[in-house]
Homo-oligomer: A and B are copies of this chain.
Amino acid sequence: MSDSRPDPAGAWFRAEIVEQPDALLRLLDGAATIVEAGRAIRRRRPRFVRLVAHGSSDNAAVYGTYAFGLLGGIPAFRDSISLSVYYGVEHELRPAPVVALSQSGRTPDVVEYVERARRRGALTIAVTNEPASELAGAAEIVIALQAGVERAVAATKTYVNQLGALALLSAAVGDRATSMAEELRRTADLLALTVEQLTSEAEAAARQLVFTGRLFAIGRGLELATAREIALKLTETCRIAAEPLTTTDLSHGPVAALDPLFPVWAVATRDPCLPTVLEAAERVRASGAALIASGDAAGEVEGAGLRLAVPTAPLPVLAPLLSIAPGQLVAGALAAARGLDPDRPVGLQKVTLAA
């Protein structure tokens, strides 16, 4: 890899999407550290685990709440950073373990949250692509994402590796890590296939979205993380006002904003939440809005004008590692069609130091 960017604009972003399977395999080379971190959580026998992050790392944290619930056997919640860092609330006598996610490891209030939690005796785990970062220095245990340098500002491979790390960590907490590493390797192979197969379909989809100014992305359960991350990619790289919603929250108000020029992207995956996605999609169709469907159940979304199907993951809990790919690929193709540069969106830096 070189520091000078290949032409054209967005080349880093697209190259990093393609590189994701290799990046995931590199993460798995360090599986022992992740499993040991999971065992450290397990030994504490906590009542719950706290996840803290912003941006796409917070989308990974949403996935983490499901991974811990389904694999780890203990509840995990995304904690309020501001309650601790800005309001100074410290009330737990026996503080719960913290898993802090930051690709750069430099997000100031995440670092401060971890410092405070560690001072009070909490087990602190940093999940970061920069093992020499402030966050890594602040935490007791460091999980290195091993994604390699991510040059595009919009995160892709670090996001997928965060999901992989959280799946393996949760499985280790639930004492079922052995098979998980193997299932993740199979997922990496399927992800390579997905990216290859969907590239031209994503370009066709981008052509249809080229004048879209606003969009809702809907998902439920495990795939809420995917809907959030697809919306974020489309917002930051394509300047679409793309809002993520749970399928139920769509019905609690926002459905009233829909019209034929307001498309809805439904993440449809064969899992227990699929009926809620199909029901929401039906409401979308009734409003006259256009439907885009992705996921391994994209074919089951009636009336979708665009479908971006992905393979079924080796385990249901790993579906989000594959179902993010259509969103990334469409974001890359759409940015190119609009003459925007996803490697360097206007007003963004790779490291967000804002409070």
Contact = CB atoms under 8 A, between A and B. Distances in A.
Contacts of A65: 80, 83
Contact of A89 (B70, B213, B276): B70
Contact of A235 (B74, B83, B257, B346): B257
B346 A256 contact: yes
A332 to B, nearest CB: 15
A119 interface: no
A171 to B, nearest CB: 14
Interface residues of A, number: 74
A286 interface: yes
Report the copy number of this chain in the oligomer.
Answer: 2
Interface of A: 47-48, 54-56, 58, 65-66, 69-70, 73-75, 77-83, 86-89, 91-92, 107, 109, 154, 213-216, 220-221, 224, 232, 235-237, 239-241, 243, 246-249, 251-259, 262, 272-273, 275-276, 279-280, 283, 286-287, 345-348, 352, 354-355
28 contacts: A54-B248, A54-B252, A55-B248, A55-B252, A65-B80, A66-B80, A69-B91, A75-B79, A77-B79, A82-B220, A86-B220, A86-B273, A86-B276, A213-B213, A214-B241, A236-B254, A236-B256, A241-B243, A241-B262, A243-B243, A248-B355, A253-B348, A255-B347, A256-B348, A275-B355, A276-B354, A286-B347, A287-B347
